[in-house]
Amino acid sequence: MTPNDIIRAIADVGFPVVVSVYLLVVFGNKLDRLTEAVDKLASFVEGLGAGR
């Protein structure tokens, strides 16, 4: 996305909408990675408990 595209989007829908969409995209990706990390950690912890 070029700076002109961003400015056009702000002019069309407003600054709060553009910021909200940006944050949803950024945090959505981070949330996906965090979910994967928690799943891996849960599998690791389950593996530790299986050795008893």
Give 24-37 pLDDT, tens digit per residue: 988 988 999 999 99
Q: Where are the domains of the chain?
A: 3-50
pTM: 0.52
Check: CB of residue 34 under 8 Å from CB of residue 46: no
Distance, CA of 15 to CA of 6 (rounded, Å): 10
Give 6-52 pLDDT, tens digit per residue: 888 888 888 888 889 889 988 988 999 999 999 999 999 998 886 55
